[in-house]
Amino acid sequence: MKQPLPHHLPFWIGLVLFALAGIVPASGQEADGPSDADRFFPRQGFMLTGYGGAGYNVLLADGETPNNFSTIFAPIMLFQISDRFLFEGEFEFEIEEGVTATDLEYAQLDVSLNDHFTLVAGKFLLPFANFSERFHPTWINRLPSVPAVYGSHGAAAAPTDPMLPILSDIGVQLRGAFDLGNFQTVTAEVFVTQGPVVAPDEEESAGGHDEGGPLAAAGKGAAILSGGGAGGLAFGSNTSDNNNNKMVGGRLGFSISPYFEANVSGMTAAYDAAGDLNFSALALHLEGRHGPFTLHSEFIRTWQDLLEEEDHEGLAAAKGASATGALNEGLVETLARSGYWVQLAYRTGPWQPVVRWSQLFDGKAGSETLTDAGRQLALGLDYWFEPSFVLKLEYLINDEEVDIDNNRLALQLAFGF
């Protein structure tokens, strides 16, 4: 099946942006040296910031999985090398349902090229939609859980296999911001990174945030490739790149702060050793604000090439073929999945009720359904002690094709420091 994104297009976009970054003249404030406040400060500095949280999860009507405490600590280190260079990194240490996970969420160098462009290199949160990059920290996410389209970071008790993890990967990124006046801004990002690979087997898994396969059902997962074969896809630094095909992607957005923001994003990469099987994703992000009301939504679609093995019924990932780097004699079909989530929050004093609806549709390859549909309703109530210190209560209702009752009650104390 034809992939939706021409592979070379983001390359040309990135090339143009790089060229612009070089030839566009710096605005006066940069060319003339330090500004008013700049001259007061030494050029180097360090600070520690970050976020964390502690929670208690109750799986209702399950009877098998014990109720669990959980905790997360995510320190963020900011090293100001100069007024143009900043190095930042975030670690995550999480204990949930008896599993201790550690991860380097990002470690990136930000180079401010001029008033509009910033070059980012290292491991970074991907500019794909908004949730991964901006909304997943505990004190920013209005609910203890993440939308059902995402795995990891509090994704326990999802109605079906999530579509994507909280996305971060290693590579280089060029970011642009253009002020149109009246608080209107156009933003554009392009990136080139390692890309996804077939996830290792569950028994080999370190339980990292970015892995898929059976871990997805336990909330640790990434995009899943189901249908009888092993393995989902792994994003991030848990594995080295297995081919010379890098993932390319980008995002284009427009905002009228704070009332409206919209962006479209996409990414595409080959994930097998031979570079024959492709993964692509598209997303539309919409958000709006009116008084005390805040609305967020994302619509995501993914395509993943699958290789049929002769000794499997239906379609399955040919992990063996991928490992050897050779296509077998089977057919290539493309698993297409779609999902969305919509969240509405209302702030009244320190209280903030929140409602979020997530829906994943049947994942189909040709006429065959490989992943089940699922729906999730999250009802939450937040109490804000401080702007960055909140107590969240959530009742999560899952409605899935398979008759499993994994509704959840969660309580989380979250803070940003």
Query: 208, 202, 281: which is closest to 239 by C-alpha?
Result: 208
The least distance separating another protein from the CB of residue 188, rounded to whole angstroms, comes to 7
Is residue 41 within the footprint of another protein (CB under 8 A)? yes
Selected range binding another protein among 54-62, 174-182, 267-275, 324-332, rule: CB under 8 A: 174-182
Q: How far is the CB of 402 from another protein (least distance, A)?
A: 35
CB 189 within 8 A of CB 177: no
- Does 32 bind another protein (CB under 8 A)? Our answer is yes
For position 24 contacting another protein by CB under 8 A, the verdict is: yes
**413 in contact with another protein (CB under 8 A):** no
Q: Is 272 in the site for another protein (CB under 8 A)?
A: no
Whether 107 and 93 have beta carbons less than 8 Å apart is answered as no
- Dihedral pair phi/psi, residue 81, rounded to 5°: -85, -40
Q: Which of 3, 7, 13, 200 binds another protein (CB under 8 A)?
A: 13
Select from 1, 16, 206, 326 the one that contacts another protein (CB under 8 A).
16
Give, as ranges, the residues between 106 and 165 that touch another protein (CB under 8 A): 110, 112, 114-116, 118, 120, 133-135, 139-140
Q: For residues 183 and 259, give the distance between their C-alpha atoms in angstroms, rounded to a whole number.
A: 10
Residues numbered 214-233 forming contacts with another protein, rule: CB under 8 A: none
Assess contact for 167 and 380: CB atoms under 8 A: no
Q: Closest CB to another protein among 112 and 237?
A: 112
Distance in angstroms (rounded) separating the CA atoms of residues 334 and 228 = 15
CA dihedral (136, 151, 246, 186) positive or negative: negative
Q: Measured in Å, how far apart are the chain's first and last C-alpha atoms?
A: 47
Candidate list 17, 59, 74, 107; residue touching another protein; CB under 8 A: 17
Residues touching another protein: how many (CB under 8 A)? 69
Q: How many helices (H) and strands (E) does the chain have?
A: 3, 22
Q: Shortest distance, CB of residue 238 to another protein, whole angstroms?
A: 24
Q: Does 343 bind another protein (CB under 8 A)?
A: no
Query: Which residues touch 125 (CB under 8 Å, ≥6 apart)?
Result: 105, 106, 132, 133, 166, 167, 168
Tokens of residue 83, six digits: 């007024």
Binding residue for another protein, selected from 123, 153, 175, 209, defined by CB under 8 A = 175
| 53, 171, 213, 253: residue in contact with another protein (rule CB under 8 A) | 253
Please give the Cα distance from 118 to 177 (Å, whole number).
9
Q: Give 317-345 as a DSSP string.
A: --HHHHHHT---SS-EEEEEEEEEEEEEE
Q: Can residue 49 be called a binding residue for another protein (CB under 8 A)? A: yes
Binding residues for another protein, per CB under 8 A? Answer: 6, 9, 12-13, 16-17, 20, 24-25, 27-30, 32-42, 45-47, 49, 78, 80, 83, 86, 88, 110, 112, 114-116, 118, 120, 133-135, 139-140, 175-181, 183, 185-189, 253, 255, 257-258, 261, 287, 289, 384, 387-388, 416
